[in-house]
A = this chain, B = another copy of it.
């Protein structure tokens, strides 16, 4: 077995990324059975995917602090509505 040469991301080799069965959301609408956001888009928007943003569902850069604290690499989703 020849391990694929991978650049360890923030010191974490693939195999040592502990498979986590932890919840991702510890802040947003905890009383809701499932947090689904349905939004209309005009132009461009940056959406949160780290569940830590104070402006959720929009991104406010909170992923930086989360990534630093955990060695994670999550970032936002940037969507632009196609012009006709």
Contact = CB atoms under 8 A, between A and B. Distances in A.
Interface of A: 6-7, 9-10, 12, 14, 17-26, 29-42, 45, 47-51, 57, 63, 66-67, 69-82, 84
- Chain A contact surface mostly: loop
A75 B17 CA distance: 23
Total identical chains: 2
Contact of A82 (B6, B26, B73, B81): B81
Contacts of A31: 6-7, 9
B38 A78 contact: yes
B50 A24 contact: yes
B82 A40 contact: yes
A79 B39 contact: yes
A31 B77 CA distance: 18
Contacts of A81: 40-42, 81-82
